[in-house]
Amino acid sequence: MPRNLPGLLDGLELIRQDFPILGRTMADGHPLVYLDSANTSQKPQVVIDTMVDHLERHNANVARAVHQLGGEATEAYEAGREKVAAFIGAQRDEVVFTKNASEALNLVANTLAWAEGDLRVGPGDEVLITEMEHHSNIVPWQLLTERTGATLRWFGLTDDGRLDLSNIDELVNERTKVVSLTWVSNMLGTINPVREIADRAHAAGALVVVDASQAVPQMPVDVVASGADLLAFTGHKVVGPTGIGVLWGCRDVLEKLPPFLGGGEMIRTVTMERSTYADVPSKFEAGTPPIVEAVGLGAAVDYLGHVGMENVRRHEEAITGYLLDGLSSVKGLSILGPKDPHDRGGAVSFELDQVHPHDVAQLLDSRGVAVRAGHHCTKPAHQRYGVQASVRASSYLYTTPEEIDALVEGLEYTKKYFRVD
């Protein structure tokens, strides 16, 4: 297979040198081939160094101490917020830090049950999701509707892994209060028409929530242009640290939502009788926040901004196309989801006839190739296609054609090991 692919990042080997873990040698002398970036991305040295420097030289709590270290920590934490806001085309005060995307989505689902006025979800209302959602964008809405008496509905999936919008006029109606959907599927790779669906939802008076955990790492994202009212993603998939997520929201929506957690820093005043609350985003950031993680996330989006998200997207399309071609060459292998790399993300799930996904992953791991096996927190989507589990290979800006070749060779080795024709 040709390796000089149009669209690959210029200086790919130099980019790989920014990620120290990619130089690791695994068991039996195999070089690490990391194809699990949809699960978590690797971290460039600049993110590691930035976090270490903060802990070594600037560590203190934020927004509390009047000493110099406290001022430095607060400045660094808020600088992380400003960098994230700029990265997604948002205003600084619209960015709320959480511990991950799951917490951000739970924040929204819970506060909509407690909200006053037109945002409150209650009996007779409908919440609309999709069958391809990550569990983090299913379970919170199930809990919300169970607790409030609202009804949960969903878009189905077509045979080729796309949203079935044939009944959108029936699903999006005057009872629809919330539409929540993934931008890019972590299992199928499908890129959903978020703006189109958002426009339909807004015409019906519904609020639009977007899980952008797979979108923000892979392509340019402008939250305003997306049409979303609220959008969530996680830091560890955008070459940043674990332990930090982002909830972006239109300011007027955030101001109407009540607090999610109570405690320090989210208050304005507290008496024994009642409390009043700080302005957004502080209203949603109770207690000591993920300070060094916010600093690291700021460094991560700076790094991606330097590379250029348009360049990252071109690389993802090129390497995903190469991956799809390589997998298609393996007899007995079935790909789940769209086959066109230009309208899908970099996560590719597949089945190998007569071999359990966990066995495939273990054999690949013995050759240094890291993939994921299981249901990828998308059990309903797997059930839709009649499979219990799948193998998922997912690329990123540091993935090379040679790594895809190693995967394909590993799959052929797996077939021989299990004596599969």
- Annotated catalytic residues are 377
Tokens of 260: 């999610």
Residue 76 class from Cβ within 10 Å (0-12 exposed, 13-18 middle, 19+ buried)? buried
Give the three-state DSSP class for 211.
Answer: strand
Residue 326 class from Cβ within 10 Å (0-12 exposed, 13-18 middle, 19+ buried)? buried
Residue 393 class from Cβ within 10 Å (0-12 exposed, 13-18 middle, 19+ buried)? buried
301's CB contacts (< 8 A; 6+ apart) are 83, 84, 86, 87, 238, 240
Q: How far apart are CA 204 and CA 224, in angstroms?
A: 19
Tokens of 147: 């607790």
Tokens of 302: 């700076």
CA 196 from chain centre, in angstroms, equals: 20
Strand partners, 325: none
- Residue spans of alpha helices (H) in 149-258: 168-171, 194-203, 215-218, 223-226, 251-256
Q: How far apart are CA 7 and CA 377, in angstroms?
A: 31
Give the sheet arrangement for strand 230-234, strand by strand. Answer: 95-98, 245-249, 230-234, 207-211, 176-182, 126-130, 151-155
φ and ψ at 193, to 5 degrees? -80, 75
Q: How many CA atoms lie within 13 A of 284 on its CB side?
A: 29
